[in-house]
Amino acid sequence: MLETVKYLIGSRGPSGYGSKSTAEQVTDRRDLRSITAIITGATSGIGAETARVLAKRGARLVLPARSLKAAEDAKARIASECPGSEIVVMALDLSSLTSIRNFVAEFESLDLPLNLLINNAGKYAHNHAISEDGIEMTFATNYLGHFLLTKLLLNKMVETADATGVQGRIVNVSSTIHGWFSGDIIHHLGLITRDKSQYDATRAYALSKLANVLHTKELARRLKQMEANVTANCVHPGIVRTRLTREREGFVTDLVFFLASKLLKTIPQAAATTCYVATHLRLANASGKYFSDCNEASTSKLGSSSHEASRLWSASEIMVSGDPKAAFRPLHPSH
């Protein structure tokens, strides 16, 4: 109850920021002119605001998107507010492992440094679908694509950090909804990949967001083991306020909408935690952590499991290696 009250009034935590802080506020006076950042899902919503604010602070941006037109429009919006900003638009479909490999090859050909990778893109798929690689679409887009993208860009990030002395940062955007999933991750993924009748959109989304949390945990452990000057952290941005359709008038409806408006965030508020974790000097060397409302928070019990993080990593390596369904075979010998 106390946490809810703190959230509603925007009470500031140990970081000096809280639920009402905006992306501009948490990056105030930050000079990012030496920083190159890749931000997925930056054509709308939280990703677009993250990109705008980082560009405003001087960062060079690489905006990968499935729709080049949407990315060009995002670039034009940022450029109109931040003349002189350097923004590179590139094609990327996160649900396609081939597209990810092509994107990384193209990015490497530009010979740019890479200080910051923000894995922000996400989708909520109401209907069951399978990616071209044979994986359930929500998991493929929200988690597996980012797993491969990060894996392929890691050497570039380590090299950049070594050459510049500036610590690299990887930020995975998850959600508090990761706590809604319980059970065996790999088994359930295999189930919803094979059997459409087992698909529940919310559970699939929660599974993908839990995978983001576990990815962060295991990635941070591996970076530390490598003694790389790169950190990996995870964020819950908050639930964004949208134009809710009001079909009925009345006191109860008004009350519900009033309460909802207090619980939901504006897009500038929702982008704050990502921008804080990506840029704030206070977070030097912080790695493997989960943040909400610009402060460190706790994950679900499953999200804190080193065993599950290691197990998911191993399965993910198999999934991106050319035969994704092989990851499910040990669990289901008959398939």
Query: What are the residue numbers of the active site?
Result: 199
> For every residue of 67-109, which 3-state class applies, written as one string?
CHHHHHHHHHHHHHHCCCCCEEEEECCCCCHHHHHHHHHHHHH
Strands in 230-236's sheet, in edge-to-edge order, are 87-91, 60-65, 36-39, 116-119, 168-173, 230-236, 290-292, 295-297
CB contact burial 324-335 (16+ within 10 A = b; e otherwise) = bbebbeeeeeee
Strands (E), the chain: 36-39, 60-65, 87-91, 116-119, 168-173, 230-236, 290-292, 295-297
Structure tokens, 321: 């290696």
Q: CA–CA separation, 299 vs 233, rounded Å?
A: 12
Cβ atoms of 89 and 9 within 8 Å: the answer is no
Cβ atoms of 150 and 211 within 8 Å: the answer is no
**CA proximity to 313, closest of 240, 217, 243:** 217
The Cβ of residue 98 has, within 10 Å, a number of other Cβ atoms equal to 10
- Give the CA distances from residue 149 to residues 96, 121, 135, 320, in Å, rounded to whole numbers and listed in that order: 11, 12, 16, 10
Q: Which helix (H) or strand (E) holds 268?
A: helix 267-270
Tabulate helix, strand, coil % of the chain (nearest 5).
50, 15, 35
Q: CA–CA separation, 69 vs 171, rounded Å?
A: 25
